Structure 1
């Protein structure tokens, strides 16, 4: 089924590379990756997004820290950091420092067990140069997957035992079993293959459906748990990038987009969109440090 209701546009801003949108504490936050900005999304079409923090490096995505309003963990620069009030930054690890090719962090999210996951990619999209990292609750950072070109997501089922991870350059979404105690991924299986465009940001809903923005097509896909394509949402922007489910009832699909690389961007390339859907999703899971004082 293809949605025909025009999406609402949130904000007057047009983002270079809008990504990492998350619904938390009754609002949507998002990133403009290459400018290093963390933004609170506008509520309507006539306002601007509000600046929360501005890092001197690319900022891929954040997760809220449980019980600490205004505190975040972030996939940024060459690693993972904490962001405190007024944008104060403290680095946890920079595992991509000294990489063979210039590399930055990309997408990231917390899982239902309180861990934070973040992927890295080469600026020039060198094949297999990307990795997936896990920040455990005790503050340890572990490289859990290698050989990825452009990792996006991940997204988790509600019980945290299944992880979906896109390798956008290959047009594939893989599904991994996750050990709930250790967080270690098992052997993957191919969940879905996208032949037109590239799967980008992802989220799951309460029925176990997987939503993904499809870069280069102006579309969002919803897949059923068996991997079959259930729904397509058309957007008036060619490069949808990140998405989440939010709003008061969890039934608003929020989608970021980008104008980077477009020779002649349209008026809505780089906009943030809102579309009403039938199946709700949950707010963004928080990072839960084992020591609650372990924040900025």
Structure 2
């Protein structure tokens, strides 16, 4: 297992409390600041240090994915559920399942899969054990609870064929591997433990799969990003100059790793905490997927 400390460039020093959800969409990198409810983009053809704010919601914003055939529209894991975010910044709710939970909770990280479904996790504000869930939003707008009993559901990431989903339970220090039927979206059997982190190794947060099918995972609390082989063996560790990396995204062409970080919980933050970082790596990623909406019916 190799370990490197390659200099990381601070692309955006945004002083974000909890930057997350980084994805490449077409020619731009999009990410959120969860607790402030803001969505940003960085474009390849503009000054990378000047992100454009696309939306500012009055609820926490965990992650977004573009809506196919609807330019400027997003499906969002926001507040207590899943919503359509229109180009003018309005929210059209599909469902708010976390309104029906016993403890105050919010949505967290999320991603679209290659088949056009949107998957997103949830967590209790106070980190109540077992209060988190994983949801799947189908093209018709139906929101289905796929897994429960999680604590901080984070970083859904899919292989290129959509048959394998990786899911982190950050509080448990566990990365799960789930087999998915690409046609129906149903899980085939229960989740398997792909990797178990121990004291001092950090907690798995946002994740992505690279062009070679390997998994990259941000390690909250450890100032590191790990790359795993599909068989679960640890291939590489990249040091990050911030204690709380939150999400990872690989540029689909330029062999650069983009990492969001948090200032939350950092006593003496530097410019690298609450930022977007860029690190050269030997492998590219893949472009983000879209949610292929059919005829979703907003629920008010």
TM-score (norm 2): 0.93
Who is 2:293 aligned against? 289
Choose from 187, 191, 211 the match for 2:190: 187
Return the alpha-carbon distance in structure 2 between the equivalents of residues 206 and 172 of structure 1. 23
SS of the residue corresponding to residue 169 of structure 1 reads helix
User: Could you tell which deviates more after superposition, 71-80 or 186-195?
Assistant: 186-195
| Aligned mates of 2:139, 2:208 — CA distance in 1 | 22
Q: Which residue of 2 aligns with 1:51?
A: 53
Instruction: Provide Cα deviations, 1:128-165, integer angstroms capped at 9, x if missing partner.
Output: 00000000011111001000000111111100011110
Question: Displacement, 1:232?
Answer: 0.8
1:96 is paired with a residue whose SS is helix
- Cα distance change of structure 1 residues 2 and 271 upon mapping to structure 2, 3 Å threshold: same
More moved, 282-291 vs 196-205: 282-291
Contact 2:156–2:167 under 8 Å retained in 1: yes
Post-superposition Cα deviations, 1:215-234, rounded to whole Å, max 9, x if no partner, equal 00110000001101101111
- For 2:76, the equivalent position in structure 1 comes to 74
Structure 1 residues 210-250: Cα deviation after superposition (integer angstroms, max 9, x where no partner): 00000001100000011011011111111000111125x15
Counterpart in the other structure of 2:264: 260
Q: CA deviation at 1:122?
A: 0.1
Q: Once the two structures are superposed, what CA deviation does each residue of 1:56-91 show, in whole Å capped at 9, x if it has no partner?
A: 000000001112221100000000001111212111
Shift of 1:7: 1.3
CA contact (8 A) 1:10 1:45 kept: no
Aligned-residue CA RMSD (Å): 1.8
Uncovered stretches (5+) of structure 1, i.e. residues with no partner: none
* Aligned twin of 1:20: 21
Paired positions, count: 293
* Alignment-derived partner of residue 35 in structure 1: 36
Counterpart for residue 225 of structure 1: 230
Unmatched segments (≥5 aa) in structure 2:
none
Correspondence for 2:278: 274
Q: Which residue of 1 aligns with 2:174?
A: 172
Q: For residue 42 of structure 1, report the CA deviation from its aligned partner.
A: 7.1
Residue 290 of structure 1: CA displacement? 2.3
Q: Secondary structure at the match of 1:11?
A: strand
